[in-house]
C-alpha cells in the first residue's frame, strides 16, 4: 500500500467512524481528489477499500454513500484500530474484551488437545519470555510476545474461525498498549496465568488451559468495565 493511499484511508476512515461523515452522506471522487490532493485513481482505490469494509457503498448513478454502523465490518483490523482511536474507545474495548472471553478459553482448550509438539514447546517459550519481559517492564517486547502467544493459541485450536480472529486480538492488545491502558509493568498474576495456559497446552491439559485463559479474559473484561462511563 502506497504512503499516499494509506494516508487517505487513515484520514477518511476515522471521519466515517466518528460520525463527522454521517450515514447516508454522499461523496464524490471529485471531492476526494480535492480534499486529499490525490489522483482519481487513488480516490477510486480508497473507495474500493472502504467498500470492502462496509463503510461506503458505491453505485454508478448515485455515487458513493456512507453506510450505517450496522453494515460495517467490525472485525476488520483497520475498523477496530480507528474505533479505538475515537471517543468510544472504552466501550469498544469492553465489547472486544467480551469477544475474547467468549473465544479464547475454548480456543486454549482446543490447542491443548490438538497442538503439534512444536507448538507445545513454542507456547511455553513465549510465556517464559513474557515473564522475563514483564518483570523487566519491557512493555514493547512484552506486547510483541503477547500477540504471538494469543495468535498461536487461536491458530493451534484447529478451528479455522478461531484462527481468523488473530488480527482482531492483535489490534485489541496493541490498542490497550498504545492508549496507555496497560500497566507499566504487566501484573505478576497475569504473567503467571499465561504460564499456566502454556503449560496446560504443553501437557495436553485442556481444563487447565481453559480455566487459566478464562481468568486472564475475566480480568481484562473487569478492567475495561471499570473504564466505561457511569450512567
pLDDT band at 27 (very low <50, low <70, confident <90, very high): very high
Which pLDDT score, from 0 to 100, does residue 68 have?
96
CB-side neighbour CA atoms (13 Å) of 65: 11
CA distance 56 to 50: 6
Task: Please state the domain extents for the chain.
Answer: 3-71, 85-225
Torsion of CA 69, 27, 48, 7, to 10 degrees: -90
16: left (phi over 0), alpha (psi -120 to 50) or beta: alpha
Query: What 3-state DSSP class applies to 55?
Result: coil
**Residue 111 pLDDT > 70:** yes
Q: Taking 60 as the threshold, does the pLDDT of residue 1 lie above it? A: no
Indicate if the alpha-carbon torsion angle 183, 189, 192, 198 is positive or negative.
negative
Cell of 120: 507445545
Mean pLDDT of the region 179-197 = 89
Is residue 197 within a helix (H) or strand (E), and if so which, with residue range?
A: helix 188-202
Domain 85-225 belongs to what architecture?
Up-down Bundle (1.20)
Lookup: cell for 96: 472486544
The helix/strand/coil state of 66 is: strand
> Angle at Cα 199 formed by Cα 195 and Cα 201, nearest 5°?
120
Give the model's pLDDT for residue 145.
Answer: 97
Encode pLDDT of 153-172 as tens digits: 999 999 999 999 999 999 99
Predicted confidence at residue 90, as pLDDT, reads 86
Q: What is the CATH number of domain 3-71?
A: 1.10.10.10
Taking only the tens place, the pLDDT of each residue in 43-93 is: 999 999 999 999 999 887 778 999 999 999 999 999 999 999 888 888 888
The whole-number pLDDT of residue 2 equals 63
The pTM (predicted TM-score) of the whole model is 0.89
> Residue 131: its pLDDT value, please?
97
What pLDDT sits at residue 150? 98
Determine what percent of the chain is predicted with pLDDT higher than 70. 97
Query: Which among 176, 219, 220 is positioned nearest to 80, based on CA atoms?
Result: 176
**Across-strand partners of 27?**
64
β-pairing, 63-66 vs 56-59, is antiparallel
Residue-averaged pLDDT of the chain:
92
Give the model's pLDDT for residue 178. Answer: 84
Amino acid at each position: 500500500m502506497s504512503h499516499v493511499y494509506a494516508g487517505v484511508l487513515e484520514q477518511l476512515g476515522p471521519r466515517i467512524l466518528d460520525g463527522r461523515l454521517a450515514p447516508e452522506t454522499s461523496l464524490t471522487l471529485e471531492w476526494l481528489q480535492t480534499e486529499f490532493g490525490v489522483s482519481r485513481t487513488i480516490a477510486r482505490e480508497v473507495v474500493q477499500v472502504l467498500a470492502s469494509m462496509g463503510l461506503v457503498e458505491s453505485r454508478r448513478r448515485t455515487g458513493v454513500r456512507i453506510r450505517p454502523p450496522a453494515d460495517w465490518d467490525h472485525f476488520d483490523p483497520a475498523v477496530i484500530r480507528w474505533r479505538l482511536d475515537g471517543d468510544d474507545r472504552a466501550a469498544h474495548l469492553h465489547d472486544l474484551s467480551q469477544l475474547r472471553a467468549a473465544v479464547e478459553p475454548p480456543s486454549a482448550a482446543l490447542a491443548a488437545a490438538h497442538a503439534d509438539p512444536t507448538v507445545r514447546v513454542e507456547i511455553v517459550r513465549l510465556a517464559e519470555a513474557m515473564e522475563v519481559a514483564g518483570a523487566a517492564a519491557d512493555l514493547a517486547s512484552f506486547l510483541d510476545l503477547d500477540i504471538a502467544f494469543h495468535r498461536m493459541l487461536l491458530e493451534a485450536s484447529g478451528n479455522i474461525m478461531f484462527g481468523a480472529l488473530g488480527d482482531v486480538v492483535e489490534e485489541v492488545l496493541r490498542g490497550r498498549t498504545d492508549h496507555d491502558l496497560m500497566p507499566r509493568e504487566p501484573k505478576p498474576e497475569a504473567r503467571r496465568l499465561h504460564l499456566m495456559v502454556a503449560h496446560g497446552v504443553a501437557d495436553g491439559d485442556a481444563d487447565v488451559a481453559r480455566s487459566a485463559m478464562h481468568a486472564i479474559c475475566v480480568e481484562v473484561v473487569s478492567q475495561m468495565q471499570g473504564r466505561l462511563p457511569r450512567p
